[in-house]
């Protein structure tokens, strides 16, 4: 299994008040799957994705990513792991506003320590893969919402990670752009990428090969 | 992340907001410029004085009133104990090749038309030429007969001669000091300034005449001596002569029992060195305060910058930036800021130093402040250190951000 969760719980503590968000989740995701995490707001689907993407630590339970024990990783080690294994796509795109599409896509390569000479070619390749070969030197504010999200997907792809985590990738997009982005994710999945997508839209979930539903911190 | 990437990323962030970056470093620019200017002027002044002292010759020493362990014989509240009797005693010792007593005053000098010029009036003997070489271009200098006879004669500096007698030959004419008239016997060649006083605006009188006819005193302000050979030996010899002359029983050589003090060029150079380093330390500490203030400005702006870029930091961390990489990015930013401030400050400081050098040289010949190399190196090091020290807190707060919360930050 690429991703393997056992009895994961997550509590948020605010002073004396402990709020359980995940209440014991066991889950396996195999390489090559396109999984949609679905559920109403507050169900814990984003928290689950953060744990899967090594952005957050569970309160208890075990998690293995590609054979590595995630609980044993230090902050810096999980940062290094994220560079290699995970690509992120966010609802709000999170592109750096004063950098061109190409520069935005090159960003993960900086932290991966890629050779300077290779970066431009790798980033261009990723932008070509998402169909933006004619927008390399555009700034984010010169791009449409759908194009921005495709730049973000290129950025997630550029280090060739084993999993792409997408958190509500269509949440800020109209239906046409949403369909394009989801189509792109599906084609990447067909080319072999493992994708974990959080969404609350049934239309979006329909693109996935498997749907995992959460409610009140438990799988349903 | 490769280090060149860190530098590139940091400089990119700074260029994004050039006017803010510039305003932020203004404090550092001014602080560093102040350090450069103060060190340059301080060193320039020190070297100017050292040059003047060196020009006196290393075989010169000065006898002044006051006890041997006090500083500053020019103090008017110290009893003036040196007289022409001491001068005579020193003259009989052939160890001393020049014995030049000097009496000083500032007087209004009047010509026959009633024009008045204020000038330094010095009572001298012919030996004055041996310690303060000068040329008389017209007429003659004070001679032994003038001193012995108390002649009412005067030698003028070139400038005061030209001021008082613009259209006529000064030699042979008279000037009036207080109520006494003096016949002009000579005019000196231009000499410039020494110890910030203008030698060309002075009037020289025979010292005995000045004592008795002008001031009504029998002391001299100081006695300049020249002695070849070991200067400390010669100092001891002069002390021996003067203790005899003053009837001081001081067989142990306790300087505090003496009523005179002797200093040589070497002593003066040492004192100037001490004064100079104390002054430099004082100036440096003032400048350090301005750099601290500048550093706080940097810290403030860096904190603002971290807050503004919370989401950027969150994204960088999400895609794999480590604590160290974020820390480095922000530290390099603040160091680049202060280093740029340091370099601008050096340019400003050097510019101001050169400019004031040109201006001051009009008033004081031989004044040439130069920017010491160590001041430039110090400025670069200190400005980088300010960036590092005041950048640590903002950089740490950036590096510690939780990626999830940072990405949610509105």
* Predicted TM-score of the model (pTM): 0.73
Q: Which of A79, A90, A92 sits opposite B320 (nearest CB)?
A: A79
From chain B, pick out residues whose CB is under 8 angstroms from the CB of A113.
1-2
From chain A, pick out residues whose CB is under 8 angstroms from the CB of B317.
79
Is B6 a residue whose pLDDT tops 90? no
- Lowest-pLDDT range of A142-151, B356-365, B378-387: B356-365
Taking any CB pair shorter than 8 Å as contact, residues of chain A touching chain B are: 50, 53, 55-56, 75-76, 79-80, 82-84, 87-88, 90, 92, 94, 96, 98, 107-108, 110-113, 116, 155, 159
Residues B214-271: pLDDT tens digits?
999 999 999 999 998 888 889 889 998 999 898 888 877 778 888 888 888 778 788 8
Q: Cα separation of B251 and B327, whole Å?
A: 72
Is A219 a residue whose pLDDT tops 90? yes
Quote ipTM for the complex: 0.94
CATH number for position A58: 3.40.50.300
- Using alpha carbons, select from A185, A156, A160 the residue that is nearest to residue A34: A185
Q: Cα separation of B95 and A71, whole Å?
A: 92
Taking any CB pair shorter than 8 Å as contact, residues of chain B touching chain A are: 1-2, 4-5, 9, 16, 311-312, 314-325, 403-404, 407
**Residue-range definition of the domain harbouring residue A182:** 3-219
Q: How confident is the model at residue B192 (pLDDT cuts 50, 70, 90)?
A: confident
**Two tokens, residue A56:** 């957050």
pLDDT of residue B68: 59
Going by the DSSP 8-state scheme, the letter that residue B190 receives in this structure is P
Q: Cα separation of B284 and A93, whole Å?
A: 51
Q: Which positions ≥6 away from B133 have C-beta within 8 Å?
A: none
Q: How many residues does chain B have?
A: 410
Residues B73-119: pLDDT tens digits?
455 567 888 999 999 999 999 889 999 999 999 999 999 888 899 99
- One DSSP character per residue, B110-166 reads E-TT--EEEEEEEEE-TTHHHHS---EEEE----HHHHHHT--EEEE-HHHHHHH-S
Summarize the confidence of residues B123-152 as an average pLDDT. Answer: 92
Q: Return the residue in B17, B311, B320 with the most chain A beta carbons within 10 A, the one to mutate for interface testing.
A: B320
3-state secondary structure (DSSP) of residue B206: strand
pLDDT of residue B205: 95
Q: Return the residue in A48, A99, A110 with the most chain B beta carbons within 10 A, the one to mutate for interface testing.
A: A110
Residues B13-22: pLDDT tens digits?
888 888 988 9
Q: What is the mean pLDDT of chain A?
A: 93
pLDDT of residue A132: 94
Q: Higher pLDDT residue, B3 or A197?
A: A197
Summarize the confidence of residues B336-354 as an average pLDDT. Answer: 93
Distances (CA, A) of B378 to A12, B356, B385: 51, 22, 10
Q: Return the residue in B6, B14, B18, B318 with the most chain A beta carbons within 10 A, the one to mutate for interface testing.
A: B318
Going by the DSSP 8-state scheme, the letter that residue B182 receives in this structure is E
B391 within 8 A of B298, measured Cβ to Cβ: yes
pLDDT of residue B73: 46
- One DSSP character per residue, A70-132 reads GGG--HHHHHHHHHHHEEEEETT----TTS-HHHHHHHHHHHHT--HHHHHHHHHHHHHHTT-
From chain B, pick out residues whose CB is under 8 angstroms from the CB of A116.
2, 4
Going by the DSSP 8-state scheme, the letter that residue A53 receives in this structure is T
Q: Cα separation of B198 and B161, whole Å?
A: 13
Distances (CA, A) of A201 to A35, A38, A88: 14, 8, 19
Is B397 a residue whose pLDDT tops 80? yes
Q: How confident is the model at residue B69 (pLDDT cuts 50, 70, 90)?
A: low
User: Backbone phi, then psi, for B24, in 5-degree steps?
Assistant: -60, -40
Is B72 a residue whose pLDDT tops 60? no
pLDDT of residue B47: 83
Rg over alpha carbons for chain B, rounded to the nearest Å, is 32
pLDDT of residue B37: 87
A37 within 8 A of A89, measured Cβ to Cβ: no
Q: How confident is the model at residue B403 (pLDDT cuts 50, 70, 90)?
A: very high
Share of chain B above pLDDT 70, in %: 98
Residues A86-130: pLDDT tens digits?
999 999 999 999 899 999 999 999 999 888 889 999 999 999 999
- Using alpha carbons, select from A83, A13, A93, A23 the residue that is nearest to residue A53: A83
Q: Higher pLDDT residue, B296 or B1?
A: B296
pLDDT of residue B79: 81
Which residue is associated with the tokens 């960088």?
B316
pLDDT of residue B127: 93
Number of domains in chain A: 1
pLDDT of residue A197: 96
Q: Which of B1, B312, B318 sits opposite A82 (nearest CB)?
A: B318
B295 within 8 A of B390, measured Cβ to Cβ: yes
Distances (CA, A) of A157 to A57, A97, A167, A189, B121: 24, 20, 15, 12, 92
B336 within 8 A of B387, measured Cβ to Cβ: yes
Find, in chain A, the residue whose alpha carbon is nearest to that of B326. A111
Q: How many CB atoms lie within 10 A of CB B58?
A: 12
Q: Which positions ≥6 away from B374 have C-beta within 8 Å?
A: none
pLDDT of residue B76: 58
Is B4 a residue whose pLDDT tops 60? yes
């Amino acid at each position: 299994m690429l991703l393997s969760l056992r009895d994961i719980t997550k509590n948020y503590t605010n002073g004396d008040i402990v709020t359980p968000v995940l209440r014991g989740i066991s889950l396996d995701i195999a390489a090559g799957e396109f999984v949609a995490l679905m559920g109403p707001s507050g169900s814990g689907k984003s928290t689950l994705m953060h744990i899967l993407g090594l952005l957050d630590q569970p309160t208890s339970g075990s998690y293995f990513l590609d054979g590595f024990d995630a609980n044993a990783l230090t902050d810096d080690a999980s940062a290094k792991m994220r560079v290699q294994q995970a690509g992120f796509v966010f609802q709000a795109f999170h592109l750096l506003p004063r950098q061109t599409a190409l520069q935005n896509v090159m960003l993960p390569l900086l932290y991966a320590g890629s050779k300077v000479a290779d970066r431009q070619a790798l980033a261009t390749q990723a932008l070509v893969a998402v169909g933006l070969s004619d927008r390399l030197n555009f700034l984010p504010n010169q791009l449409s919402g759908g194009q921005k999200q495709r730049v973000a997907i290129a950025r997630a792809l550029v280090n060739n990670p084993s999993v792409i985590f997408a958190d509500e990738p269509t949440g800020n997009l109209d239906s046409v752009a949403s369909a394009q982005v989801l189509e792109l994710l599906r084609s990447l999945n067909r080319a072999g990428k493992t994708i974990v997508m959080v969404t609350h839209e049934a239309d979006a979930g329909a693109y996935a090969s498997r749907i995992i539903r959460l409610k009140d911190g438990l799988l349903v | 992340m490769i280090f060149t990437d860190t530098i590139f990323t940091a400089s990119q962030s700074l260029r994004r907001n050039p006017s803010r970056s510039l305003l932020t470093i203004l404090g550092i620019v001014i602080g560093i410029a102040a350090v450069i200017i103060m060190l340059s002027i301080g060193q320039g002044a020190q070297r100017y004085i050292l040059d003047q002292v060196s020009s006196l010759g290393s075989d010169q020493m000065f006898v002044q009133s006051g006890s041997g362990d006090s500083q500053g014989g020019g103090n008017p509240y110290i009893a003036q104990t040196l007289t022409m009797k001491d001068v005579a005693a020193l003259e009989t010792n052939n160890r001393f090749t020049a014995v030049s007593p000097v009496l000083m005053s500032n007087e209004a000098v009047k010509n026959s038309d009633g024009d008045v010029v204020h000038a330094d009036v010095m009572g001298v003997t012919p030996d004055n030429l041996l310690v303060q070489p000068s040329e008389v271009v017209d007429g003659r200098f004070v001679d032994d007969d003038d001193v012995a006879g108390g002649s009412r004669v005067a030698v003028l500096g070139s400038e005061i001669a030209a001021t008082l007698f613009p259209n006529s030959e000064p030699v042979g004419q008279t000037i009036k000091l207080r109520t006494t008239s003096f016949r002009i016997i000579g005019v000196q060649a231009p000499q410039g300034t020494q110890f910030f006083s203008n030698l060309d605006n002075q009037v020289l009188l025979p010292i005995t005449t000045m004592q008795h006819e002008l001031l009504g005193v029998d002391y001299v302000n100081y006695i300049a001596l020249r002695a070849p050979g070991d200067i400390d030996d010669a100092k001891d010899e002069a002390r021996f002569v003067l203790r005899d002359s003053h009837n001081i029983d001081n067989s142990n050589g306790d300087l505090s029992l003496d009523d005179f003090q002797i200093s040589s060029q070497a002593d003066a150079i040492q004192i100037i060195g001490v004064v100079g380093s104390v002054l430099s330390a004082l100036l440096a500490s003032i400048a350090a305060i301005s750099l601290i203030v500048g550093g706080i400005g940097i810290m403030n702006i860096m904190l603002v910058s971290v807050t503004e870029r919370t989401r950027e930091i969150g994204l960088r961390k999400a895609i794999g930036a480590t604590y160290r990489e974020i820390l480095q990015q922000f530290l390099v930013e603040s160091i680049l800021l202060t280093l740029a401030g340091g370099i601008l400050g050096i340019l400003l400081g050097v510019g101001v130093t050169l400019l004031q050098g040109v201006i001051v040289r009009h008033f004081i010949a031989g004044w040439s402040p130069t920017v010491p190399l160590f001041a430039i190196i110090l400025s670069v090091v200190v400005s980088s250190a300010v960036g590092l020290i005041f950048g640590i807190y903002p950089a740490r707060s950036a590096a510690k951000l939780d990626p999830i919360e940072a990405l949610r930050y509105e």
